[in-house]
Amino acid sequence: MSKNYGFALLIGAILASSCQQADQTPCTATIVTTKAPSEEVATLKQFIDAGKLAATFDERGFYYTIQSPGSGTKPTVCSNVTVNYTGKLTNGTTFDSGTGISFGLNQLIVGWQEGIPLVAPGGSITLYLPPSLAYGPQEQNNIPANSILIFQIDLVKVN
């Protein structure tokens, strides 16, 4: 587990309030519908186009590429999942990674809540996230403020 994982989880928990209420009401959401601002989507599209990336646009404002769809039941934002992942900046710098990490999706950044449910266990996806679906205007350790982030995620299992 990387040293940044705990910090990323904490920030994700702060940003992820769509499922878990302060009164600890059980999570019942099936999908997150947060949308990125059009300016961020346009900047992300420029990055995708410049890199000639074969990525699919999601109406919520991010892009993704599914390397393997996996099989079985896909997780929801309320699921607890185990993943292997690598997070990179657009310049290729790796800022975080982890293997066999388990967490509740509703505890993490919105882009993961929206993107991971696109694959089933055994699946692999690359998420291209605009700032508002990641860490936004706050600098985080090795992540500059307002960064587009790229995550390669293997969904090991839904716990």
| Average pLDDT rounded to a whole number, residues 111-128 | 98
- Strands 63-68, 124-129: pairing kind: antiparallel
Tokens 């079985």 -> residue: 72
Query: For 68-96, how does the pLDDT look when each residue is reduced to its tens digit (9 = 90+)?
Result: 999 999 999 999 999 999 999 999 999 99
Tokens 């878990």 -> residue: 20
Q: What is the value of pTM for the model shown?
A: 0.84
Q: Which domains does the chain have, with CATH numbers?
A: 5-158 (3.10.50.40)
52 vs 75: CA distance, rounded Å: 30
Residue 92 vs residue 5, higher pLDDT? 92
